[in-house]
Structure 1
Amino acid sequence: MNETHPRLSMQVLEQLPQDVLRPTYDRKQIKAGIVHLGIGAFHRAHQAVYTDEILQAGAQEWGIIGVSLRSPDTRDALAPQDGLYTITVRSAVHEQVRVIGSVVQLLVAPENPQTVMDALCEPEIKIVSLTITEKGYCYAPATGTLDETHADVVHDLQEHNHPRSALGFIVEALRRRRQAGVAPFTVLSCDNLPSNGETLKRVVTRFAALRDPELAEYIAAHVAFPSTMVDRIVPATTDADRSAIVDATGVIDAWPIMTEAFSQWVVEDHFTSGRPNWEMAGVTFVQDVSAFELMKLRLLNGSHSTIAYLGYLAGHETVSDVMAAEGFARFIREMMDEEISSTLPKLPDFDLDHYKDQLIERFRNSSLKHRTWQIAMDGSQKLPQRLLGTIRERLAEGQSIDRLSIGVAGWMRYATGWDEKGAAIDVRDPLVQEIQARIAGQKTAAELVAAYCSIEEIFPRDLAGNQVFRACVERALQSLLEIGAARSVAQFK
């Protein structure tokens, strides 16, 4: 990257090539109405883009304060750029570069939790949204309940004024707003959790109850937690992506975002203190998001995880590489058709076959370098909602789970930490130490499945003790151990 190029900022905005889209609104007039916890790549490719659209339309009161709960990396990248960043929308035949200006301030919670708390308590803040990944909710994925032994939960129940977790910040801010006579904000989860709004409300109110039962009752009665469904594929940014932005714009962006053309956001229309007119930007507001959410979690996310584990084991770096390999596209489409679709509720006027066609094409998009290793992260948190819920329903109906079981076995094989060539896998998972302790010394498929199924945080007892489930996963894992992922998929009938 040529450091002689200027850095992206308000000062150089008008110098960008004409084909680069940019904010046309006066950013100095924008007021913050949203605090977003977890300002990572997905938020900047999704919710921040929708919000940028309404700012373009004149809604000046909905700027975003982005908060990093762990690392200062996003702040360090974007603060010198006045909060601006580029997003490149990549299809198979076209690219469009756009500068997003909806992020008006960037904070890092560990550096100054009080500044974050002050922002959350501002009366102008109407919405607190979250993309903190499944593990950020300090909950047990198998049950959806608060993990009361989680280190951050234990800390935040003692250190009210210096929280570490999103739950700690939200509950303390709501307490302070109530004490000051300020209306509560809406808490808007944008993570891939089952019934994400209900799940978030459950863990927040339980956390609050451990502090003050009266506060928990107030939150339950007066704070809205709408559920949402979010959908856009956002690969991790590479140095090649940064160089491409310099070539396209003539300026340096320390952290650009690459994404696909497809974007969807479905939101339950239940807000405590008002909301942006996001429907102008294409958001779908509904009374009940559960059917959309289940469709996306099981078809897209379930397929994505299966692609990631089996594809990584087969030696493929990206999703599009996996889909180009023998048998994979057929296997994934058959898993959608034969084992997932029957578990989904009917959506009036929704063409499910067309949606599945779109998913296959999105997975095949070779312009998106979406790494299988990236998708494979945090599998213990993702598996219950992406695959195990579907499996439980299929078993209850006496239906086959053969393909879904290969996805689960793929995660088990991946989480051993060794690939098919004997090389170490960098397994990123909050339960990685417990997983390694449970499977230590286990060699056979039966031994490994028994060890994994003893982890109740992932496999609830009813499923772990189901002999049909155990037998199917053992058979799939045995195939992966004996002939590998590529042949197991290619030979599947």
Structure 2
Amino acid sequence: MKQHVFAHLSEAEQQLAGESVGFLNCAVDRIVPNQTNDDPLAVTVEPFFEWAIETRNVIGTVPPIQGAHFVADLGPYIERKLFTVNTGHALAAYLGYLKQYETVQDAMKDSAIGADVEQALSESGAVLVKKHGWKADEHRAYIETTIGRFMNPALSDDIIRVARSPIRKLGPNDRLVAPAVQYCALFGNVPHGLAKGIAALLRFDDDRDVEAAALQQTIAHHGIEGALRQYAGLESGHPLVAAVKDEYGRMEKNKN
């Protein structure tokens, strides 16, 4: 935003703005389901939210903003959201797709899916606690709150919408592979909950999704190992690859 704003200012105005205007990096954690409203400004959101704002670019004193959580370093908060909300959301969607559920909320009513999401978030949570020094009990409460958000009956998260763009979500720095790889490195074990989520992603074959079609073509021609190498940056010798292949093989496609 700063670059776009400064592009419209003269050199003198840029100097003045640089001395008096701070552009603060922030992260917002809130689920906004797909919706269509007559009023374009009317948006339905969940009650929960977290608004983390990094203080490093503050000019003057930190402003009193109701609801804001000011932090020195935004990185851990971005990763906590990615490895918890995004990770859990993705698992519920991909596992729910295999069982032909329509929404994330419907999928989370399935006790087996709920247990898989819980396991994966416990694994990604262990990574976060180890890396960032979060208190284990506080992060456990955050996980439980997050799972409760997925089950909110007032929201309706369409599974196809949440699961779309699987190649992007299979990336080495994204919600499934990143915490799984870091778990292997930190603890020397394979996180089977996250591996199951990655395998379920590889099963996502909705023909309306361009990335899903491309992913299935890659799997057909190069196998699971080739897809994980190409999109997740995982070499065949990585222990996560064998675990994902095992989970993939055990999954039965419950689709007509």
TM-score norm. by structure 2 comes to: 0.82
The answer to whether residue 9 in structure 2 is matched with residue 177 in structure 1 is yes
Alignment of 1:77-116 (within 5 A): none
Alignment of 1:430-441 (within 5 A): 434-435=214-215, 437-439=217-219, 441=220
Q: Cα deviation per residue 1:62-90 (whole Å; 9 max; x = unaligned)?
A: xxxxxxxxxxxxxxxxxxxxxxxxxxxxx
CA distance in 2, matches of 1:235, 1:185: 37
Q: Tell me the CA shift for residue 254 of structure 1.
A: 4.8
One of 228, 235, 240 as aligned partner of 1:453? 228
Alignment of 1:43-442 (within 5 A): 128=1, 170=3, 174-175=6-7, 177=9, 179=11, 181-183=13-15, 226-238=24-36, 242=37, 252-254=38-40, 256-271=42-57, 277=63, 279-337=64-122, 339-344=123-128, 345-347=132-134, 351-383=138-170, 384-396=173-185, 397-414=187-204, 416-417=205-206, 425-427=207-209, 429=211, 434-435=214-215, 437-439=217-219, 441-442=220-221
Q: Which residue identity lines up with residue 55 of structure 2 in the other structure?
A: D
Contact 1:230 1:264 (C-alpha < 8 Å) held by counterparts: yes
The answer to whether residue 256 in structure 2 is matched with residue 471 in structure 1 is no
CA distance in 1, matches of 2:68, 2:28: 10
CA distance in 2, matches of 1:485, 1:183: 62
CA distance in 1, matches of 2:15, 2:65: 26
CA shift in 2, pair 1:314/1:180, >3 Å: farther
Q: Which residue identity lines up with residue 45 of structure 2 in the other structure?
A: T
CA distance in 2, matches of 1:274, 1:257: 33
Q: Which residue identity lines up with residue 310 of structure 1 in the other structure?
A: L
Contact 1:225 1:270 (C-alpha < 8 Å) held by counterparts: no
Q: Tell me the CA shift for residue 266 of structure 1.
A: 0.7
Gap regions ≥5 residues in structure 1: 1-127, 130-169, 187-222, 243-251, 418-424, 487-493
Q: Which residue identity lines up with residue 229 of structure 1 in the other structure?
A: A
Q: 3-state SS of the aligned residue for 1:386?
A: coil
Q: Which residue identity lines up with residue 218 of structure 2 in the other structure?
A: R
The structure with the greater share of residues assigned to strand is 1
CA distance in 1, matches of 2:140, 2:247: 27
Contact 1:177 1:183 (C-alpha < 8 Å) held by counterparts: no
CA distance in 2, matches of 1:307, 1:181: 49
Contact 1:311 1:485 (C-alpha < 8 Å) held by counterparts: no
Q: Which residue identity lines up with residue 484 of structure 1 in the other structure?
A: K
Gap regions ≥5 residues in structure 2: none
Q: Tell me the CA shift for residue 413 of structure 1.
A: 0.9
Q: Cα deviation per residue 1:204-223 (whole Å; 9 max; x = unaligned)?
A: xxxxxxxxxxxxxxxxxxx9
Q: Tell me the CA shift for residue 448 of structure 1.
A: 2.7
Q: Which residue identity lines up with residue 161 of structure 2 in the other structure?
A: Q
- Tell me the percent identity: 24
CA shift in 2, pair 1:267/1:395, >3 Å: same
CA distance in 2, matches of 1:230, 1:359: 14
Q: Tell me the CA shift for residue 428 of structure 1.
A: 5.0
Q: Tell me the CA shift for residue 294 of structure 1.
A: 1.9
Relative contact order: is structure 1 or structure 2 higher (C-alpha 8 Å, sep ≥ 6)? 2
Contact 2:190 2:240 (C-alpha < 8 Å) held by counterparts: no
TM-score norm. by structure 1 comes to: 0.45
CA shift in 2, pair 1:184/1:387, >3 Å: farther
Q: Tell me the CA shift for residue 270 of structure 1.
A: 2.6
CA distance in 2, matches of 1:471, 1:262: 38
CA shift in 2, pair 1:291/1:233, >3 Å: same
The structure with the greater share of residues assigned to helix is 2
CA distance in 2, matches of 1:184, 1:472: 56
- The count of residues paired between Structure 1 and Structure 2 equals 247
Q: 3-state SS of the aligned residue for 1:230?
A: strand
Q: 3-state SS of the aligned residue for 1:335?
A: helix
1:203 corresponds to which residue?
Answer: none
